[in-house]
Structures are given as C-alpha cells and as structure tokens.
Amino acid sequence: GPTITSFVRPEPVPNPPDFVLWSFFNAMFCNPFCLGFIALIFSVKARDSKIAQDAVAAGSYGQMAKHLNTAALCLGIVGTIILIVLLALF
C-alpha cells in the first residue's frame, strides 16, 4: 500500500528580550548606585542563555535586567531634576 509520511514541527523556542542596548545606555549615562552596570551584566547573561537555548534562564535574567534598568532610569531622572532645581535655587 501507499506510505504516508507526516512531519512534526518542533515548538518554536520563545525569544525573551535581553535589553542589552537599554542596559548599555544606563551603564554609560544613567548609572546611579551602579544599577546600569549590574543591569548590563544581567542582560549579557540573558543573551548568553538565549544563545544556549535556555529560555527559562534567559527570561529570568531579562526580567531582572528590565527591573534594574527601570530603577536606574527613574533614579537618574529624579537625580537630574533635583540637581537642576538645586542649581536654579542657588
């Protein structure tokens, strides 16, 4: 009889974000308490985990980098605003 061949496609591997560019920006320009540099380290770990096809670790490191980047950016903006206000007052 005829032979029936079926193909099974593997599930696509999720591609979690690693936020390397944002971390690099924060490490260079907006680095209160070294949060930008620590976020850059976590972003590189997320990218390495993504290359190793470990989606769980890449997602975890990516989320930590996102939180650190958010904190660094907020603290940097608040610090800049306070500095401008203090310079305007004195």
Q: Read out DSSP for 20-81?
A: HHHHHHHHHH--GGGHHHHHHHHHHHHHHHHHTT-HHHHHHHHHHHHHHHHHHHHHHHHHHH
The Cα–Cα gap between 77 and 30 comes to: 8
Give the model confidence (pLDDT) of 38-75 as tens digits: 999 999 999 999 999 899 999 999 999 999 999 999 99
Q: Check residue 4 and give its pLDDT.
A: 82
61: buried, middle or exposed (CB in 10 Å: 19+, 13-18, 0-12)? buried
Stretch 76-83: mean pLDDT: 96
